[in-house]
Amino acid sequence: MGANQSRNEPTPGEEGDGLNVNDDKLPVTVLRLDNQLNFDHFQILRAIGKGSFGKVCIVQKRDRTGNMYAMKYVHKGECAARGALKNVAREVEILSQLEHPFLVNLWFSFQDEEDLFMVSDLLLGGDLRYHIQQEVVFTEESIILYVAEIGLALDYLQSHNIVHRDIKPDNILLDEEGHAHVTDFNIATVLKGGELASSMSGTKPYIAPEIYMCYLSEYCTLGYSYAVDWWSLGILAWETLAGERPYPLCSTTTYREALEILQDERPTPTGWSSTICELLDKLLTLAPGARISTLKELKQVNAMKELDFDKVLNKQIKPSFTPPKDHLNCDPTFELEEMIIETKPLHKKKKRLAKQRSLKVDHPPEDTVGFVEGAGPSVDFRRLTFIPEYRVYNREREMERKERERKEKQWEEDLNTAMKGAEERLKTKQQPAQQTGNRLSVSTANVKTRISASPRQGRRISTATPSDIDYIDASPEPSTSVITLVLKSTKKKEMDV
């Protein structure tokens, strides 16, 4: 019932979500790492966490940036034996579509012969579970800010039709300044076209009552939607503030017992303000329709009315609690487990895989099916050499592509603007020419009118001959001199006299 117990609780996932790893008809695929990001591009620093389906360590990218990340890795065989391969593949597919200030954003995903890897933002503030176990006393102001930040993340997920289904202190990571970030989308699901989810998914103490009702068929509940995450947020907020959960649920509680406990009246701690009590009451309302389940509804609560959500989104409001910066905010035993207990430690992977690949070249594997250590169905290791459903993702390349598309779009806009400006200038130049042409045609008409009117005025019109012309504006013929032209003109004048 305590925090330590819930830390190691297995998280139920979708029933029947495991991939079919026993299909002998699938071809053997050799994993090529030459042109893609792989394990060798990172330096392993130390282990910092352990989850239901994998472990987490700090890594540094071996490039000019030297950026540091958190690397989560899941062993393929263990994952397949637990029927969780589809969940892990879906998690990467979902995270590759998301980016938000209050999410732990995915940067890279890849695989090798042994493991599936997810490389994400590195947040050194630790998770809320760790700080609750350290008996940190959180103020009401801290809780209100956490609810606002996580609420913004849930609103963003809802805009992408995503239900997280596992909001709990273990899955809220703090950065160095103390801001909250949602992580672990292993059992998240996507709702399309107004559909509802129906599977039993989540961690028992944080599961909303409608999920239990959906599982217990006599309640005839059609399904559940985004409101389940807001219920979990209410449990998380209560536990972070009080140091314990409002309902005595644990991993051994049956689903029917859990629903009965949730339907009982929960205790109200003394010493809390009416503001925080109102917030928690509206988050922990049994009926999903009456519960806070949107950001708009959250903003209407008294606790949130003084918050500027634009500043919250931009992390301009300083949290009351700042995690210690003189040490890693995680359980130090994770590193000891990785170094001492782990049978296939990550820091020895490079040598181990090099040896395995050398053996495969000298002794190709036989066409047989092997078994994963421990319980579980038989697993075709040829199928696990490469899992095509697991997406290879590189956010750096995605950002480069988007920047390239942005520049191309800007170039097209600039080109269209320049062409439009050129057309405008061309039209402006053509207008005076048209006006001049109209003026010339009018002058010609006047001249023709005057000429045609001359006979009616009784004046004699005769054809002009060269001898009637006093002066011709033309160059003389080569055989005619200027003196000859002058003499002819003088002689004509004398005859006229």
186, 154, 178: which is closest to 51 by C-alpha?
186
106, 247, 292: which is closest to 182 by C-alpha?
106
Q: Are residues 232 and 112 in the same domain?
A: no
Structure tokens at 346: 């990550």
If 0-12 CB within 10 Å is exposed, 13-18 middle and 19+ buried, where does residue 495 land? exposed
Q: Are residues 206 and 136 in the same domain?
A: yes
- The CATH number assigned to the domain holding 225 equals 1.10.510.10
Distances (CA, A) of 107 to 39, 52, 112, 245, 399: 14, 21, 17, 34, 10
Q: Are residues 274 and 353 in the same domain?
A: no
pLDDT, position 376:
46
The reply to whether 385 falls in a domain is yes
Contact, 226 vs 196, CB < 8 A? no
Q: Are residues 275 and 156 in the same domain?
A: yes
Q: Are residues 300 and 341 in the same domain?
A: no
185, 11, 167: which is closest to 94 by C-alpha?
185
Q: Are residues 294 and 336 in the same domain?
A: no
CA-CA distance, 440 to 132, in Å (whole number)? 93
The reply to whether 370 falls in a domain is no
Tell whether residue 72 is among the known ligand binding residues. yes
CA-CA distance, 37 to 32, in Å (whole number)? 10
pLDDT, position 450:
52
The reply to whether 246 falls in a domain is yes
The reply to whether 18 falls in a domain is no
The reply to whether 136 falls in a domain is yes
CA atoms within a 13 Å half-sphere pointing along the CA-CB vector of 122: 19
Q: Which residues of the chain have pLDDT under 50?
A: 1-34, 367-377, 381-382, 440, 447, 458-464, 466-476, 479, 482-483, 485-487
Q: Is the dihedral of CA 179, 232, 121, 297 positive or negative?
A: negative
Q: Are residues 240 and 289 in the same domain?
A: yes
Q: Are residues 262 and 134 in the same domain?
A: yes
Quote the Cα angle for 391-394-396, to 5°: 165
The reply to whether 445 falls in a domain is no
The reply to whether 400 falls in a domain is no
Structure tokens at 226: 């985004």
Q: Is the dihedral of CA 196, 198, 202, 205 positive or negative?
A: positive
List of residues 6+ apart from 225 with CB closer than 8 A:
163, 191, 196, 197, 288, 293
Question: How many other C-beta atoms lie within 10 A of the C-beta of residue 424?
Answer: 10
Q: Are residues 83 and 139 in the same domain?
A: no
Q: Are residues 198 and 212 in the same domain?
A: yes
Residues with a known catalytic role: 166
Q: Are residues 184 and 297 in the same domain?
A: yes
pLDDT, position 267:
81
Look up the domain containing 176 and give its range: 129-314
- The CATH number assigned to the domain holding 112 equals 3.30.200.20
69, 134, 145: which is closest to 107 by C-alpha?
69
Number of domains within the chain: 2
CA-CA distance, 283 to 148, in Å (whole number)? 12
Contact, 107 vs 69, CB < 8 A? yes
Contact, 115 vs 76, CB < 8 A? yes
Contact, 112 vs 353, CB < 8 A? yes
333-388 pLDDT, tens per residue?
766 565 555 656 666 666 666 666 665 555 555 543 333 333 344 555 445 678 88
Q: Are residues 236 and 291 in the same domain?
A: yes
The reply to whether 371 falls in a domain is no
